[in-house]
Structure 1
Amino acid sequence: MTPTVDLAQARPIPVADWVTIPDLYADPYPVYQRMRAEAPVHWVPAVNRYMVTDYAACHTIEQDQERFSADETNSLMKRAMGHSMLRKDDPAHDVDRKSYGGVLRPNAIKRHWNAVFEQNCAKYLERLENAGPGADLISEFAAPYAAENLRLIMGFRNATQDDMQRWSQTLIDGTGNYADDPDVWAKAEQSSCEVDDAIDEVLPHLRANPDHSLLSGLAHLPIPLEAIRANLKMTIGGGLNEPRDALGATVWALLSNPDQLAQVLAEPSLWSTAFEECIRWIAPIGMYPRESTQDTVLEGVLVPKGARLGVVVGAANRDPKIFDDPETYDINRPKQPHLAFGGGNHFCAGAWVARASVVGVGMPRLFDALPNLRLDPDAPAQAGGWVFRGMLRLPVLWDRR
């Protein structure tokens, strides 16, 4: 039920005309700190959107699709990927989500996908080791590992992990193309067409030869082809970048905090804690859109009907009203729910895959395989992004056995 709000008591939304896209890309957190201190919501001309940086406000939006719709007008995601379940409200969202069945859920992961993760982890750890100390952990391990896992889960027998990486990056670049760069749109459109062609090619085979993959399950359901295409493009985007970026950023955080790494290595149950703290600290999906369906009040601020909102979970997860010393990576902080996987009816469907592939397999095997894994002091790591944020490069050293 929509809460009763007193519009007359609300204050207007301030304008943050000092915010630039390059600043957000390089390091959004100082920007978010300043915005949160001033108001829970700002109008940001650079991104043509109201940015919501307060934890309570973001949580409210996630739980209230009556006032805050996912089906945004002129959505960048719709343009880049088609009208996927992420840009739908219930009941349409629920229909699409249920079409995925149990492929991404814990039981299927235990029965089918953990063995795949183990095999792929061994393959790409060997690739990283062959590249030698000083290699980039992202390009040699985290990215191809996440891509190959996703390729097999989705059922793209007619694509490579390199295809998956290209498709994912160009499609999410389109989804985050707030600068309206025509080159970004061209690359996203090319990848969109390639994904459509791959889906059209593989569906007949999977109808005749069903397996455990997502595409196989979809091939046997009476759902429109356009819905399959849009939802799979959405899955290629988030399903690759979330585990890749969570793995890379958690390794970076642990290597930057040797005392915490020692704790984790001494107590393997802390791998999960290290992962969850990292996606709080650096949310792989840092912002997603909503649109207000009515004039309303959000944490004391007047939000007009039709407002294009950016739910900045990357800022909410560092809200000092919720988290002590939020700018610091700390596996020993008191447990508090973060918003990195979203919430409500749009809670990330791939959360279990990310946790299983990164926490259950990827990180423990990595540190076991590479003795004295450490940062390369002569080649600094680099992070980037704000709509999607992760490690751009992570050169590492280790001791040869």
Structure 2
Amino acid sequence: MSDAPVFEIDPPAFWRDPYPDLKRMRASAPVAFVPQLGATLITRRDAIFENEKRVEVFSSSQPEGLMTLLMGENMMRKDGDAHMAERRAIFPTVSPRTVRDVWKAQFQAGAARALDRLAGHAQADLVRDYAMEVSAEALKAMTGLTNMAWPEMDRVSQGMIDGCANYAGDPEVEARCHECTASIDRHITDRMATLADAPDQSLISVQMQAGLPQAQMRANVKLAISGGQNEPRDAIAGAAWALLAHPEWLEAVRAGDITWLQVFEEYARWISPIGMSPRRIARDHDLDGVWLQAGDRLFFMFGSGNRDEAVFARPDVFDPTQDCSAAISFGAGPHFCAGAWASRCLIAEVALPMLFERFPKLALAGEALFGGWAFRGPLSVPVRLG
């Protein structure tokens, strides 16, 4: 077991706002064992950036990890050649060219439908009434699960990420996660014959064309859903809230002084939708004087690294003009998020500009509520539409 300094947390408080504890860890115990999570946490940006690439020590392979047990062994839980082979197989779905030439038009159509449904309403919740639908419709297209209703896409994604963050072992959370993965499997099965006859660039189809075994294909689709729904959803609603809460930056982006991409990249640094990534210690290792034992569980805390005072000029402030090029919002190394290009397109080129163009008088109508530490985002963003 790690001999890292012990840092105690209050789990409900950490879920509501992890940043105060993470700041204290960076200052006093940048490699700390948190007994409530049963894991050693790395909290400084440069240590995360460097060590995430050392897969011989910090292994993504976690046969007993929650994600593997609940969703199957996807490519995120593999290293080396096995990981790269599956990453190459899915590249035709997520490449910058495919995003530009195939998915962007579908993203725009989905956002337009959601905005049309909001027309005529005085108020809305940007999470429930806009971001959730836009993200889910984009994910339906990219995965090939066009037979799944968008509310079901959001439901099964949330069920899986709750299951993967269920370190307290709540049996109800685990049961709900199993029910959600079963729903995904049914929807995949229903699409396979059609995609075999008429292949396209969706995730199911390109993996079938590459000859991946069904178990791998299904696990990778679940991986895409577990991250490809909640993270864009949270970033769309969260970045919109950030602009409404900081009207000087909304004025700047409307004037063309900053770009929508700067807004998204800075929001993803400031409130990281992906707060952490777990690893298994593959062999005994000394990390800056802290002993890590083979088999230990370790978390790379992306959300903490993105607020590292040694790296960012204004780490706790939303400022789209500051240099956030060192942010690790999409990870680093071989497991850099394969969906990064799609996320940037969906959020910065489609969802945000279309929302503020359609509703130029958009304003907050109450307090936005946030939650989460492994995955973090707004639970609700009440707004007046005009």
In the superposition, the TM-score normalised over structure 2's length comes to 0.96
Q: 1:219 aligns with which of 194, 202, 208?
A: 208
- What SS is found at the alignment partner of 2:211? coil
Contact 1:127 1:141 in 2 (8 A): no
Look up the equivalent residue of 2:299 and give its one-letter code: G
Contact 1:239 1:350 in 2 (8 A): yes
Contact 1:81 1:234 in 2 (8 A): yes
- Residue 293 of structure 1 corresponds to 282
- Residue 253 of structure 2 corresponds to 264
* Count of residue correspondences: 385
- What SS is found at the alignment partner of 1:218? helix
For residues 20 and 74 of structure 1, the distance between their equivalents in structure 2, rounded to whole angstroms, comes to: 25
For residues 136 and 341 of structure 1, the distance between their equivalents in structure 2, rounded to whole angstroms, comes to: 26
1:391 correspondence with 2:382: no
Structure 1 residue 49 displacement after superposition: 0.7
Q: Deviations over 1:303-329 (max 9, x none)?
A: 233221011100110010111221111
Contact 2:262 2:320 in 1 (8 A): yes
For residues 55 and 300 of structure 1, the distance between their equivalents in structure 2, rounded to whole angstroms, comes to: 18
- Residue 174 of structure 2 corresponds to 185
1:176 correspondence with 2:182: no
- Residue 33 of structure 1 corresponds to 23
- What SS is found at the alignment partner of 1:327? coil
Q: 2:295 aligns with which of 273, 288, 306?
A: 306
- Residue 192 of structure 2 corresponds to 203
Which piece of structure 1 moves more, 240-249 or 211-220? 211-220
For residues 57 and 297 of structure 1, the distance between their equivalents in structure 2, rounded to whole angstroms, comes to: 13
Say what the alpha-carbon RMSD is for the aligned residues. Answer: 1.5
For residues 90 and 193 of structure 2, the distance between their equivalents in structure 1, rounded to whole angstroms, comes to: 18
- What SS is found at the alignment partner of 2:32? strand
Contact 2:266 2:324 in 1 (8 A): no
Q: Which runs of 5+ in 1 are unaligned?
A: 1-10
Structure 1 residue 170 displacement after superposition: 0.2
Q: 2:77 aligns with which of 87, 107, 124?
A: 87
Contact 1:69 1:89 in 2 (8 A): yes
For residues 168 and 292 of structure 2, the distance between their equivalents in structure 1, rounded to whole angstroms, comes to: 24
For residues 46 and 327 of structure 1, the distance between their equivalents in structure 2, rounded to whole angstroms, comes to: 25
Q: Deviations over 1:287-340 (max 9, x none)?
A: 110112222233443323322101110011001011122111111213432111
1:14 correspondence with 2:1: no
Contact 1:72 1:308 in 2 (8 A): no
- Residue 344 of structure 1 corresponds to 333
Q: 1:355 aligns with which of 344, 354, 379?
A: 344
For residues 194 and 15 of structure 2, the distance between their equivalents in structure 1, rounded to whole angstroms, comes to: 42
- What SS is found at the alignment partner of 2:317? coil
- Residue 153 of structure 1 corresponds to 142
Look up the equivalent residue of 1:83 and give its one-letter code: E
Contact 1:128 1:137 in 2 (8 A): no
Q: Which runs of 5+ in 2 are unaligned?
A: none
Overall identity of the aligned pairs, in %? 39
In the superposition, the TM-score normalised over structure 1's length comes to 0.93
- For 1:239-258, what aligned pairs fall within 5 Å after superposition? 239-258=228-247
For residues 191 and 12 of structure 1, the distance between their equivalents in structure 2, rounded to whole angstroms, comes to: 38
Q: 2:34 aligns with which of 44, 47, 51?
A: 44
Q: Deviations over 1:56-106 (max 9, x none)?
A: 221122211111100124201112211111111111111111111321111
Look up the equivalent residue of 1:392 and give its one-letter code: L
Contact 1:146 1:244 in 2 (8 A): yes
Q: 1:113 aligns with which of 103, 113, 119?
A: 103
- What SS is found at the alignment partner of 1:103? helix
Look up the equivalent residue of 1:274 and give its one-letter code: V
Contact 1:114 1:356 in 2 (8 A): yes
Q: 1:137 aligns with which of 115, 126, 129?
A: 126
